[in-house]
Amino acid sequence: MSARTRQSLRFPARQGGRRRRAWPAAAAVAIGVMTLGVLAPPAASDSAAPAAAAARQDAVQRALNTLVRDDGMPAALASVQDRNGRARTYTAGVGDLTTGAKVPRDGQVRIGSNTKTFTAVVVLQLVAERRVSLDAFVDTYLPGLVRGKGIDGGRITVRQLLQHTSGLPDYGMHLDDDEIRNRYFEPRELLDLALEHPATAAPGKKWGYSNTNYVLAGLIVQKVTGRPLAEEMDRRIIKRIGLRHTYFPAPVR
């Protein structure tokens, strides 16, 4: 899932052989908005408002500068809107490390794991339609698909997938950052990679963040609806709430 407009931020290739943590550009947006929320005071008097607004703006810019300077991001982009509807866009770093071009103020942003929210909404809509049960086992919808070392889809519920309590290993821990960034993987490829590794815990016994959970949730959506996850997200969420610049970039077949 990507929020896109007309231009993109160009990320650098990974340096050396060490696996480096990947931060999507969306992280900059999240931190910028979160910083504003933390620092925003109750309604200020007219005389105090300009000073308070300036302080908030400086805090957002400092947060973006820190992302680039200390966290190794090539660029950061944030747009903040105040209670009166006035918006301001902040940037830091460069949009292309090769040319040194400025960060595009309407740049494309991959929202990364925020996509999980969309997947969960579709699953919960199917629950409301009584087409999926949160307490049903994965095998109910994907019989025999989830098997591995200490892993059994007949013991993992849909609820545990959404809550990250399934004990499924995270395929993301076994992929290079550049692979994730620059190549499309079929859901089954990612699932098969995860299933090469043992369970991290028994189902329901421990919380542990795993991207594999939401790959399976997406596969359940596709099996139940008979349509690609991208189409279901577009039909059920994106078009309904008017997200004109948001789309799922994966192939739709």
Residue numbers annotated as active site: 113
Distances in Å between the Cα of 9 and the Cα atoms of 73, 100, 120, 245 are 11, 11, 28, 16
